[in-house]
Structure 1
Amino acid sequence: MAVSTLTGADADADVPEFEAPLLHDAVDGVVDHKGRPVIRSKSGGWRSASFIIGVEVAERFAYYGISSNLITYLTGPLGQSTATAAANVNAWSGTASLLPLLGAFIADSFLGRYRTIIIASLLYILGLGLLTISAVLPSVCQNTVKNVPCSSSQFQVIFFFFALYLVAVAQGGHKPCVQAFGADQFDSQDPKECKAKSSFFNWWYFSMCGGTLITLLILNYIQDNLNWGLGFGIPCVAMAIALVIFLLGSMTYRFSIKGDEKSPFLRIGHVFINAVRNWRTSPSAIALQEEARGTLPHLGSQQFKFLNKALLAPDGSKEYGTVSSMNEVEEAKAVLRLFPIWATCLVYAIVFAQSSTLFTKQGVTMDRSIGSSFDVPAATLQSFISLSIVLFIPIYDRILVPIARAITGKPSGITMLQRIGTGMFLSAISMAIAAIVERKRLETALEYGLIDMPKATVPMSVWWLVPQYLLFGIADVFTMVGLQEFFYDQVPNELKSIGLSLYLSIFGIGSFLSSFLISVIDKATGGYGQDGWFSDNLNRAHLDYFYWLLAGLSAIEIVAYLYFAKSYIYNKGNTV
């Protein structure tokens, strides 16, 4: 610990000569798994990140092994309607995306990222194991007469959703910590490692999508054609192996030194509480108090000046002791500054939710045959999202970024907010394409007299859906990766897990909004015995109307985003 404070002659005097060269290679602010100072050449960097990326690949393999084909399981073995199943999928994925806020709080305030990852992985393995058992229950519970399933479906549903939400809890602890812990392995103060960290977010998403691609190509086929128990059991084994690999890398990891200050959650929470408590206090009282202390508010940021009221004592007096420090107020401002960007990305998250629900239901009705004996699982088409990401990220990182860097002079080529906005624009186009293709599918069903034959295959190739999936993937390279880097980079150092959980919460709220929107539209358009936009008979439904609605909302979102992005002030130093 003392290594980070020793410099120059003092360092050489206090350390034996044979250790001095190692001391100069030490990394400030981090320790190894035993609490000792770490040496740059023997810890962190891509060596450590590779172990961490490995566990993330397995986690995504497991998560998408459930989420990508969940709507098929709900409408199949569990017998739910299309609208109900889509709402349940969105509710579950929304919960899974919001729970990282709790996981980040536990990690940053109590357990640390390393321990949280281990505990979350164990919960993941337990949840996947229970999910596997729930999937084989129907085959265990059979009547002896006519081989008809017995009346234990209610127990099966309860058991299934218990296991499903246990996986969501595990993901809530896993997701915000793994990526932040991986980024922690790079020293921002070292030019070489700082550049590597910038690429880390690209290659992190590349590897993550590689795991997703394997899921969509292999697990979806197993689930649709072989056995759901096997389809859930394989991810369970994968997570167990990944946990072992993660533990093997423990001796190479860098662990941030945790200070003795109170939790960053509590610090920021107190700032807002104190500001509200003093909301009637005039700005002049703040100026007088800060002038007496020799620290004027104008030394901090000029945004969200109302939070400066947290600098005052509870009674608004001119005492020297303040409730919150300037540093704590600036931390709160840094988090609050993210909210407009967070809010204007919600429509993108609603659009994102459709690829694993309604797109999949579309594909089920179309011609999925390859040759004479093989049908492509509808959920497997999501692999084109991952495929386009895997193909495009190297192009972006190795070709587009250097070109943009030469033009703009920025290390990242374009700013994080420019990258996010580009993806939003592409996602709006993808929804317009999806609407046009769905209209073509409905016209084909009408032409061949299949309107009232929902189980018949519409003679239109499922490959018509590929463009919207590919565009989704390219949009993700811009927006998803941009959001990850933005919410990691623009929060104080102690809140990196929180930053990433805020990014994930966009998609949690977006999933809930998608579920709410589908439910409201289904009730509004499907009443009085009419076929609504989300009719179980998709040949009488109007998913194209819904896609056009999302395209319009995306256009409005982009306008609002551009307004807030233009006025955003970057927290370049990552500290306050």
Structure 2
Amino acid sequence: MEKLSGVKREEKMRVSDEGLKRENEMEKGQCSSQEQPSLQRNAGGWKTMPYIIGNETCEKLASMSLIANITVFLRSKYNLDGLYLVNVVSIWFGTCNFAPLAGAFVSDSYFGKFWTLLLGSFSSFLGMGILTLAAGIKHLRPPPCNERTGDCTKAQPWQLGILFFALGLLAVGAGGIRPCNIAFGVDQFDVTTSQGRRELESFYDWYYLSFTIALFVAFTVVVYIQTNVSWVIGLAIPTGFLAISILVFLAGAHIYNYVKPQGSVYTDLVKVVVAAYRKRRFSVGSLGQYSLYDPISDDESETPMTRLPHTERYLCLDKAAVIIDASELNSQGKSRCGWKLCSVQQVEGLKRLLGIFPVWFSGITCFIVMDQQNTFGILQAMQLNRKITPKLEIPAGLMGVTSMLALSVWITFYEQLLIPVSRIMANKEVRISLRQKMRTGIVMSILCMLVAGVTEHKRREVALRYRSFVAPMSLAWLLPQFILSGLTEAFSAIAVMEFLNKKLPQSMRTVAGSIFFLSISSASYLSSVIVNIVHHATKKNDGSAWLGGHDLNRNKLDYYYYIIAALGVVNFIYFTAFASRDLPSGSSVGDEEAEEVQ
């Protein structure tokens, strides 16, 4: 769901945890640089945590409540049909997960974390405020659908324009908040001292405790109010919390430690491409006649263990590090222009980045499967019997909790039971290898779509038999597909995240989180493309198609699920034949480390 999948919740927590550790490592190195301002003794520290954690708690409560229920909101308040609704949600999810890449670049290169966070929070507040007004002012949205005839009035273009403007502001807010919130908290601690390291560990604990509380309240209380009480109140609550988050964040401005922007690692990657292009006329075969520029870095965090060895992959990029002319170096032996001569470490960093894409691409198909539950899965729930009592009805948006719980249960079972037992039996720590995790995740994604297809076929069959918009079937019929979606995430998504952090060098670990968000974003965009292709390919002369309209009973959603399952089979073949070569297959920690060295 960082979605967090739009933004899948539990996975984002794990990705953020890795991001914290990597940011911590980078701060250790940066603190030794003369360009990096040292921590002021009277600034930062534990006294800033109530403001930073308070801001994060309020922001997450607001954003997650909308993410969980956006499909229901657009269907019930804007009368969006199935196809258009799925496109809007998928593209918005994708943009929210793509925006952090731009936000990280802006923060690292220009504004710094504080101002990026503040501007992102203000943008989210404006976006949520507009949605609240749209829910409360009838003229800003179309009239409700006729429950008897099922006829729905389409929203006017200007009404949709206001809606999309609000969603755009929320996406901008996500771009500013997600890459900076935890990193700004890390900036408050002096990790060169034992006290600073202890306080940082406590920060992790309190951060995730507050995150979990916000998540629980958003997925239960706020979603219930939105669905069963009032959308105006249900949206006004997160809007109010966003306002509180900004005020709380500003209240601590006088005691924060501010780290000046030091430039983005993305710039170094672009420099390698530009430098290699400038030397494109030199053949790869003649590179052995020249020396490679590989200076010792002034950064104390770089050691012989962390330096990347020169590899023979992507030799065309080595041109960026070839010293063609002595004039490319200054009197100290340093590169005069980073856009003409790059170090071997920069080149090898880009090679590592290119090397992750076979596995990364395989993970996107798994994310596409998870993306279906945020849209079509919720639409299925809206056409099932959700009543517990005559007056109490389960909100359709709560189905996402099932996937989150399945992921949490598996991780707890794996970490707290399977690993300790295997450690006792094998006398060493035995874990599921990354290759096994990815393969299992792909299989789970296929099963998820097959089960979803069978369930939808049954739901539509019962609804048509009783001539009812809502099928007289329990909502529990959807539990298996949502559980399988959560297990898909537990295996494949976590495997991709772990692979990215292991594969990329220490200087590029912050890129891993951005690449992970990019995979979620790509899955959302591709999901929208696939939906439109299926719709147009199956559209008949009478206007009917497998997907589209306000009534799933008139669709063939089960066929669409089977198509996604077929893509999963193709992905399994692709991964087994090609991408799996880049993943270690060892089942113990030592085995995997040995394979990585090789």
Both proteins in one fold, TM over 0.5: yes
Q: Contact 2:497/2:513 (CA < 8 Å) preserved in 1?
A: yes
CA distance 1:185–1:208, shift in 2 (3 Å) = same
Distance 1:329 1:420 in 2: 28
> Partner of 1:303 in structure 2?
313
Q: Does 1:338 align with 2:356?
A: yes
The answer on 1:127 being equivalent to 2:127 is yes
Q: Does 1:508 align with 2:521?
A: yes
* Unpaired runs of at least 5, structure 1: 1-25, 144-148
Is 1:566–2:578 an aligned residue pair? no
What is the match of residue 461 of structure 2? 443
Residues 564, 235 of structure 1: CA spacing in aligned structure 2 closer, same or farther, 3 A cutoff? same
Deviation larger for 206-215 or 159-168: 206-215
Q: Take 1:202 and 1:427, find their aligned partners in 2: how far apart are those partners?
A: 32
Supply the AA of the counterpart residue of 1:270.
K
- Quote the Cα distance in structure 1 between the aligned partners of 2:413 and 2:206: 12
Residue 100 of structure 2 corresponds to which residue in structure 1?
A: 100
Offset at residue 169 of structure 1 (A): 0.8
| Aligned equivalent of 2:557 | 543
Instruction: Give the corresponding residue for 1:12.
Output: none
1:387-406 CA-to-partner distances (Å, cap 9, x unmatched) read 33444443344334444666
Residue 349 of structure 2 corresponds to residue 324 of structure 1? no
Shift in CA distance, 150/299, structure 1 to aligned 2, threshold 3 Å: closer
C-alpha displacement of 1:245: 5.4
What is the aligned partner in structure 2 of residue 231 from structure 1?
A: 234
Q: Aligned to 1:68, what secondary structure does the other structure show?
A: helix
Q: What does residue range 42-61 of structure 1 map to in structure 2 within 5 Å? A: 43=45, 55-61=55-61
Aligned match of 1:16: none
- The one-letter code of the counterpart of 2:280 is W
CA contact (8 A) 1:533 1:546 kept: yes
Farther-moved stretch of structure 1 (356-365 vs 555-564): 555-564
SS in 2 for 1:345: helix
Deviations along 1:476-513, one digit per CA (max 9) or x if unpaired, are: 23333444444455444454443212111111111111
Contact 2:374 2:400 in 1 (8 A): yes
Q: Which moved more, 1:120-129 or 1:195-204?
A: 195-204
Q: Tell whether the 8 Å contact from 1:209 to 1:389 is kept in structure 2 after alignment.
A: no
Name 1:365's counterpart in structure 2. Answer: 383
Aligned-pair distance for 1:329?
0.9
Q: Distance in 2 between matches of 1:348 and 1:198?
A: 32
Q: Partners of 2:317 and 2:427 in 1: how far apart? A: 35
- Report if the CA contact (8 A) 2:293-2:321 is conserved: no
How many pairs align?
A: 527
Distance in 2 of aligned mates of 1:361 and 1:544: 13
Q: Aligned-residue CA RMSD in angstroms?
A: 4.3
Distance 1:411 1:107 in 2: 40
Q: For structure 1, which segment, 176-185 or 340-349, has the greater mean C-alpha deviation from structure 2 after superposition?
A: 176-185
Change (3 A) 1:409 1:244: farther
Partners of 1:407 and 1:288 in 2: CA distance: 55
CA 1:244–1:422: 2 relative to 1, 3 Å? farther
Find the partner of 1:469 among 458, 482, 506. Answer: 482
1:87 and 2:87 equivalent?
yes
> Which amino acid counterpart does residue 174 of structure 1 have in structure 2?
I
The superposition leaves residues 275-319 of structure 1 with CA deviations (integer Å, 9 ceiling, x where unpaired) of 233334223432221179899x99413332221111135xx5576
What's 1:69 paired with? 69
**Taking structure 2 as the reference length, what is the TM-score of the superposition?**
0.75
Matched residue, 1:460:
473
> Is the 1:420–1:478 Cα contact (8 Å) retained in structure 2?
yes
Structure 1, residues 438-484: CA drift from partner, whole Å, max 9, x if none?
A: 122123234x242xx5x3x2111111101221222233233334444
8 Å CA contact 1:334–1:490 kept in 2: the answer is: yes
Secondary structure in structure 2 of the residue aligned to 1:459: strand
| Aligned residues of 2:293 and 2:322 also touching (Cα < 8 A) | no
Given the two structures, how large is their TM-score scaled by the length of structure 1? Answer: 0.77
C-alpha distance in structure 1 between counterparts of 2:359 and 2:440, whole Å = 14
CA contact (8 A) 1:180 1:496 kept: no
Which among 174, 180, 204 is matched to residue 171 of structure 1? Answer: 174
Distance 2:58 2:386 in 1: 28
**In the alignment, residue 71 of structure 1 is paired with which amino acid?**
T
Indicate if the aligned counterparts of 1:137 and 1:156 stay in contact, CA closer than 8 A. no
User: Does the aligned pair in 2 maintain the 1:213–1:383 contact within 8 Å?
Assistant: no
Equivalent position of 1:552 in the other structure: 566
Moved more, 83-92 or 479-488: 479-488
Distance 1:459 1:412, change over 3 A: same
Tell me the equivalent position of 2:271: 270
Alignment of 1:373-522 (within 5 A): 373-403=391-421, 413-414=431-432, 418-446=436-464, 448-450=465-467, 453=468, 455=469, 457-488=470-501, 490-522=503-535
1:156 aligns to 2:159 (yes or no): yes
Partner SS for 1:357: helix
User: Whole-Å Cα distance in 2 between the matches of residues 349 and 197 of structure 1?
Assistant: 32
**Residues 493 and 282 (structure 1), Cα distance of their counterparts in 2 relative to 1, 3 Å cut:** same
Percent identical pairs in the alignment equals: 27
Q: 1:38 to 1:514 in 2, by over 3 A?
A: same
Opposite residue 123 of structure 2, the aligned amino acid is L
Matches within 5 A, 1:284-299: 284-290=285-291, 299=309
CA deviations 1:539-566 (Å, max 9, x no partner) are 2311111111112212322333343243
Counterpart amino acid of residue 95 in structure 1: T
Counterparts of 1:337 and 1:372, CA distance in 2: 56
Q: Structure 1 pair 411/175, CA: closer, same or farther in 2 (3 Å)?
A: farther
How far apart, in 2, do the equivalents of 1:188 and 1:400 lie?
Answer: 34
Read off the aligned partner of 1:283 and give its amino acid letter.
V
How has the CA–CA distance of structure 1 residues 480 and 178 changed in structure 2, closer, same or farther, with 3 Å as cutoff? Answer: farther
